[in-house]
Chains A and B, each alone.
Chain A
């Protein structure tokens, strides 16, 4: 069965420091990987996706993520965190196996960037 895990419920980082939000997955076939961000009382917003190609994907607001097939990971990163990056981050995965592209969501990681 397909699954996705965000092992950290919360990540705290100081403003200006690099940040990493972790995501690991398990799928049959090749993965399609996504990151979304949710600000308080708002809907989710797309950050970036990996379907194929370069393992390093660049997205919105200076975020990037690296697809690592051997470690089945897709960690979200940013070189220098901003206080405004504080939000809930969701990793999601589907795959190209079969006809079902069902998107599986992680439970989210709350990122707090401290001034």
Chain B
């Protein structure tokens, strides 16, 4: 298996622009998670899906952030409009197990810089 695939690996954009991050989970994994990692706040769960349905989006910082999972093999995280404080590394992870019970498989991350 190729593992969790994220794109782009790096994104540099200007404040106010729309950013779309993409994720392909491991086939057969029913759970998909979006995390954000910063030096100040560490690793934060933004949202997670079970069988393509959003289960907990309480970590989404504000309405500028949205996530979708139109099918079992694809998810997007969108920021519109982007702000400099959104600069971070965004990770997608998938799992066979619900949150907090099993192994998470992480992608390589998308490093976002908002100027």
Give me the interface of A with B, judged by CB distance under 8 Å.
32, 34, 36, 41-46, 49, 51, 90, 94-95, 101-103, 105-108
Contact = CB atoms under 8 A, between A and B. Distances in A.
20 contacts: A32-B101, A34-B103, A43-B91, A43-B109, A44-B43, A44-B93, A44-B104, A46-B104, A46-B105, A101-B98, A101-B100, A101-B101, A102-B45, A102-B56, A102-B99, A103-B99, A103-B100, A105-B42, A105-B43, A106-B42
Given A42-B108, A43-B4, A103-B45, A49 B91 contact: no
B25 interface: no
Best-surrounded residue of A43, A95, A107 (most CB of chain B within 10 A): A43
Contacts of A51: 101
A90 B44 CA distance: 13
A32 B103 CA distance: 11
Interface string B86-115: 000001010000111111111111000000
A110 B43 CA distance: 15
A105 B38 CA distance: 13
A108 B100 contact: no
Contacts of A42: 108-109
A100 to B, nearest CB: 8
A34 to B, nearest CB: 8
B92 to A, nearest CB: 9
B112 to A, nearest CB: 14
